[in-house]
Amino acid sequence: MYKTFEKHESNVRSYCRNFPIKLKYAKNAQLISESGEKYIDFFAGAGAINYGHNNPYIKNAILEYLSEDTIIHALDMYTIAKEGFIDTFYNLILKPRNLDYKMMFCGSTGTNAVEAALKLARKYTGRSNVFAFSGAFHGMSLGSLSMTSDSFSRAGGGVSLNNVTFMPYSNQFGDYNKSIEYLEWVLSDDHSGIDKPAAIFLETVQAEGGVNVCDISWLKKLREICDKYEILLVCDDIQVGIGRTGTFFSFERAGVVPDIVVLSKSLSGFGLPMSMLLMKPEIDVFRPAEHNGTFRGNQLAFVGAKAAVEYYCANDLNSVVKQNSEIIENYIKENILPLNNKLSYRGIGMIWGIDFAEIGEDVSKKVMNECVNNNLIIERAGRHDSVVKILPPLTIEREKLIEGLNILKESIEKI
């Protein structure tokens, strides 16, 4: 059934090993195999399908654009598609939030935008060191990988990953005050031995790190420290932005404003490659073509992203996510935690994790496999991959959400 892939495709393929299904169709939160088998999607393209598969509003906008000989590839030239997205994003997302950001369109992947943010922060401040956090995942290209903490990913780089200092994350020691106090000591003590960074790179929810949600007061304090020591605060919202936490940007809940924001994954609304930096105007110091890329002008992605923003606002997805968040958390507390007193959970909005670390390292994999056997696509994350991550499309139908949670519960119960 898979001999073509096994014979010709590289060993690096990974998700297909966890989900050995030959897919053909997809609609909202449902995947359908070549044989017609239906699966509930609690994976959402690793966060790239927030609006569901083949969202009809976004799909129609793309098909309408394709119906004529409109330009598809344009590098960073002026186009109607790009203008439409910029105007819509400014008027519906930035302006209502009083966010004064310039937009920079990067290469097609999130890691390219992270690379751009790194280069920009270093150019703007004149400093080479940056701070990242233990548990972080920022991408697989060398600059992004240098700020990614898991040893497996870092080993694949093949070279030294320098100019990054890792700090303990929000509640690393069970008390956010300890981590923030350590960070400030490093910056204030002239004998700490650590160079002042150009920027601090942050995920407000460490998704690949195991669904670690930072404390609001910790995030506020981090913003204050960055202001005090003239350090840029960079928010990587690639996986947990675009509504995933219950607000369009994940940092909104804390009332802070990062200096740079990195977006990708669900930005295009349709799974099309697209990434973007948002930056305060004074940080916009790149010279023309100082960071470029052939596919930074993905016109279909601009069309999809414009329609996605319209859909997000028209359908009040913030409220939808908050309602579903309550359903997920209540279900976990009432139906899953009673299965074993060593289980723990954490999350926000529509990203939640069930942690099996106290039970055994291999349990999460067995649970994931059992879920797949019962037609639920779900992945693992965190240290030793001990966390089973709930990450459905924001638009999932209520009955599908409950059905998927029931499969998860029954799978855990069996294992």
Q: What pLDDT does 340 receive?
A: 96
Q: 225: buried, middle or exposed (CB in 10 Å: 19+, 13-18, 0-12)?
A: middle
Query: Taking Cα atoms as reference points, which of 212, 216, 233, 209 lies closest to residue 130?
Result: 233
Beta strand 276-279 pairing with 102-105: antiparallel
Tokens found for residue 71: 């330009």
Unique residue bearing structure tokens 């279909």: 300
91 is written with which tokens? Answer: 């008027």
CA–CA gap between residue 98 and residue 390 (Å, rounded) = 32
The rounded radius of gyration (Å) of the Cα atoms in the chain is: 21
Closest CA to 244 of 125, 379, 131, 348: 348
Local structure of 165: helix, strand or coil = strand
- What sign for the dihedral angle of Cα 243, 248, 254, 258? positive
Contact criterion met (CB below 8 Å) for 89 and 241: no
CATH class of 3-54+316-414: alpha beta
Domain boundaries, the chain: 3-54+316-414, 59-314
DSSP structure string for 291-331? S--TTTTBHHHHHHHHHHHHHHHHTTHHHHHHHHHHHHHHH
Six-digit token string for 11: 């060993």
How do the pLDDT tens digits run along the chain, 415 residues long? 899 999 999 999 999 999 999 999 999 999 999 999 999 999 999 999 999 999 999 999 999 999 999 999 999 999 999 999 999 999 999 999 999 999 999 999 999 999 999 999 999 999 999 999 999 999 999 999 999 999 999 999 999 999 999 999 998 888 888 999 999 999 999 999 999 999 999 999 999 999 999 999 999 999 999 999 999 999 999 999 999 999 999 999 999 999 999 999 999 999 999 999 999 999 999 999 999 999 998 999 999 999 999 999 999 999 999 999 999 999 999 999 999 999 999 999 999 999 999 998 799 999 999 999 999 999 999 999 999 999 999 999 999 999 999 999 999 999 9
Tokens 């790009």: give the residue: 82
> Which of these CATH numbers, 3.40.50.2300, 3.30.499.10, 3.40.640.10, 3.40.47.10, describes 59-314?
3.40.640.10
Distances (CA, A) of 121 to 92, 111, 231: 27, 15, 9
Beta pairing, strands 164-167 & 102-105: unpaired
Residue 361's pLDDT is what?
76
| Residue 7 contacts residue 372 (beta carbons within 8 Å) | no
Q: For the segment 245-281, what is each residue's pLDDT rounded down to a tens digit?
A: 999 999 999 999 999 999 999 999 999 999 999 999 9
| DSSP secondary structure letters along 340-373 | -TT-EEEEETTEEEEE-TTT-TTHHHHHHHHHHH
Identify the CA nearest to 86 among candidates 108, 69, 102. 102
Which amino acid does the sequence have at 387? Answer: V
The whole-number pLDDT of residue 196 equals 97
- SS3 at position 250: helix
pTM for this entry: 0.97
State the number of CA atoms in the 13 A half-sphere of 176 facing the CB.
12
Count of Cβ atoms closer than 10 Å to residue 253 Cβ: 17
- 3-state SS class at 102: strand
Question: For 73, which DSSP code?
Answer: B
